Amino acid sequence: MEANPEPTLADDEERLAAFAEHLIEQVDTSIDGWVTRSVLAAASAGGVAVIEDDLAAVIQQTRAAAMPEIRRVLRADVDTGAGSPLAALRNAVGPMTDHLDRWGAVRPPRDEFLERQFPGDPYQLGPAAFSDFDEDLHESGLVWGAARAHVHLRRRRESDCG
């Protein structure tokens, strides 16, 4: 009986691409819930009521702001330094922020670090982890990140060896 051969670098890259496509689909599917939860929580904390019917446009604008960058980052070659999918989501909070401002929500106090690191996110809507965006993405985000690191390290190891 022949042992299974070790996966090649090409196999690992193919698996990474599959993990990325799965994560892209999950992010796209989860934007509705993230926007709804985030805006309703921020509006409530900011002293305003939001009618959920008003959120359809915010959801679409947020999706339009986030998904091209999500696709670019997740499909990028590991050696390009394309950025982070979480940063792409944090950078897509503009439509939610604009609507909260228009509705008159009070912005929460922020410390100097948050002001400096996330100047475009005054309501602190951006996720720090995939589980902040959607709990169901926690494992997929970890798997994609581990696969990305594995491919990166394997490329280095193979280029160093010959």
Let me know if residue 131 belongs to a domain: yes
* Per-residue model confidence as pLDDT tens digits over 8-65: 999 999 999 999 999 999 999 999 999 999 999 999 998 888 767 789 999 999 999 9
* Per-residue model confidence as pLDDT tens digits over 73-119: 999 999 988 889 999 999 999 999 999 999 899 999 999 999 999 99
> Would the pLDDT of 2 be above 70?
no
Let me know if residue 63 belongs to a domain: yes
Separation of alpha carbons 162 and 160, rounded Å: 6
Let me know if residue 5 belongs to a domain: no
pLDDT at site 150: 94
SS (HEC) of 15-47 = HHHHHHHHHHHHHHHHHHHHHHHHHHHHHHHCC
Is the entire prediction scored with pTM above 0.75?
A: yes
| Count of domains observed in the chain | 1
> Would the pLDDT of 1 be above 60?
no
CB atoms within 10 A of CB 111: 8
Let me know if residue 9 belongs to a domain: no
Residue 58 · residue 103 · CB < 8 Å: no
Helix, strand, coil: what percent of the chain each, to 5?
Answer: 70, 0, 30
Domain extent for 85:
19-161
Let me know if residue 30 belongs to a domain: yes
Let me know if residue 43 belongs to a domain: yes
